[in-house]
Amino acid sequence: MYPAIYIAYRQILAQKRLEVNSVLGPGRHQTGPELGALYEKVFGVAPDVLFKKSFSTLAYSLPNAINEGMTFVLGEIALQRVGIRLPVSAEVTTALSSVSGPVIAGMAGAFVWGLYDALRRYRVGNLSPTDLHFNWLRMIVAALLGALVTPVFASSFACCGLRVGCLSVGLVRGICG
């Protein structure tokens, strides 16, 4: 799912790169020093090189792979809960079947929040690799917090885990210090 969002987002990135080059690229200004040369002098790298490095397919590959891995694990756990077994080893099946409901609910809530955030950022043209890293980080933190917070609210464990998963990373960072 995340790679599909990135593939669609590449068109927006291409347009942004054209905009950067139109403003800072060589030969764009007839009078005075070129902005691109000034930028390179101040920051030590050409704007186009920095753009390619920051927003290349390689930069998006790692967070996409981790997000897909986390989504696969969450999906596998959910499928096992409803009785559908995928062809994985017995050790993996045993480990995944021991995951508690609040952990699953926390991860599911974080997944929904992360997907919403990625699609919102795609829509406004502000999806960076760092934003995608926060999605998988949110899933891990939500799973841990779901397991830790649930004993306090034992009467509604799944609902509590889902709510924890939907917390924003900024709020979680504020709570945890």
Q: Are 24 and 35 in contact (CB under 8 A)?
A: yes
Q: State the Cα–Cα distance between residues 83 and 142, nearest whole angstrom.
A: 24
* Model confidence pLDDT, tens digit, residues 97-143: 888 888 888 888 889 888 988 999 999 988 999 999 999 999 998 88
The pLDDT of residue 163 is: 58
Q: State the Cα–Cα distance between residues 135 and 93, nearest whole angstrom.
A: 25
Q: State the Cα–Cα distance between residues 102 and 104, nearest whole angstrom.
A: 5
Look at residue 172 and tell me whether its pLDDT is greater than 60: no
Which amino acid would we find at residue 34?
E
Q: State the Cα–Cα distance between residues 144 and 96, nearest whole angstrom.
A: 15
Q: What is the pTM of this model?
A: 0.72
Q: Which residue has 């926390």 as its token pair?
A: 106
Residue 127 sits at φ, ψ, to 5 deg, of -105, 110
Instruction: Residue 162: count other Cβ atoms within 10 Å of its Cβ.
Output: 22
Domain ranges of the chain: 1-55, 57-177
First-to-final CA distance of the chain: 32
Q: Are 74 and 107 in contact (CB under 8 A)?
A: yes
Average confidence score pLDDT of the chain: 79
